[in-house]
Amino acid sequence: MESAPGESDAFWEGRWQSGHTPWDHGRPAPPFAEFVQNEGAPTGEILIPGAGSGHDVRFFAELGARVTGLDIAPSAIEVAQARNPCPGARYMLGDILNPAPELHRQFDWVVEHTCLCAMEPKFWPAYAAAIPKLLRPGGHFLALFYRNPHDDAGPPFGIDEATIESLFEPRFSLLKAGVPKQAYESRAGREELRLYRLSD
């Protein structure tokens, strides 16, 4: 029997080993392209937790950033590394809920896409506590929240506005928020992109 999602890396490793990865659309998240068109490309060091096969990692690396894709499943790392090599992209095995000390304060940006919604809500406070530890002073958290998945039984677990605010707004200032116009067809109108800056 599979482990419950978030209880163990065995659940996600099993998904990658079986090839059952329905979230993977074979390309980066369209809201990030829209963000770059409107705001410019993030620069410096970017961390993407739960990076899966690395589409978003390669997207930002091809724009000039140095991007680390972190994933808890060894097979996800293997899949990502087997894709088109990209000079600014690297992949690391690790748990965003317990990030290695050498990652602390190493990043200008953390980019969230379908990692938070992959975890049971009881793990969200630990996720929210980890992000500020990873950022340099003044760093940014660009988060594509899955507000309204098709099915209540996660993963993915949908998140509401009050929960987003209680998790992140104690440590971050909100700079921008909106429903992206560009999205995977199945997620159109169901996501919200928020840009936060780490408070002093």
Residue 78 interacts with ligand SAM (CB under 6 A): yes or no = no
Specify the residue, 49 or 132, whose C-beta has the smaller distance to ligand SAM. 49
Residue 69 interacts with ligand SAM (CB under 6 A): yes or no = no
Specify the residue, 68 or 162, whose C-beta has the smaller distance to ligand SAM. 68
The count of residues interacting with ligand SAM (CB under 6 A) is 21
Close Cβ partners of 94 (under 8 Å, ≥ 6 residues apart): 70, 71, 72, 100, 103
Residue 113 interacts with ligand SAM (CB under 6 A): yes or no = yes
Residue 131 interacts with ligand SAM (CB under 6 A): yes or no = no
Torsion of CA 154, 181, 59, 74, to 10 degrees: 0
Please list every residue from 9 through 38 that binds ligand SAM, using CB under 6 A. Answer: 12, 23-24
Close Cβ partners of 165 (under 8 Å, ≥ 6 residues apart): none
Write down the number of H helices and E strands in the chain: 6, 7
Q: Which of 65, 80, 96, 143 binds ligand SAM (CB under 6 A)?
A: 96
Least distance to ligand SAM, CB of residue 200, Å? 28
Reduced to 3 states (helix: H, G, I; strand: E, B; else coil), residue 56 is: helix
Buried b (16+ CB within 10 A) or exposed e, 103-115: beebbbbbbbbbb
Torsion of CA 88, 116, 12, 50, to 10 degrees: 0
Least distance to ligand SAM, CB of residue 41, Å? 19
The stretch among 45-53, 102-110, 129-137, 165-173 that binds ligand SAM (CB under 6 A) is 45-53
Specify the residue, 2 or 199, whose C-beta has the smaller distance to ligand SAM. 2
| Binding region for ligand SAM (CB under 6 A) | 12, 23-24, 49-52, 55, 70-73, 76, 95-97, 113-115, 118-119
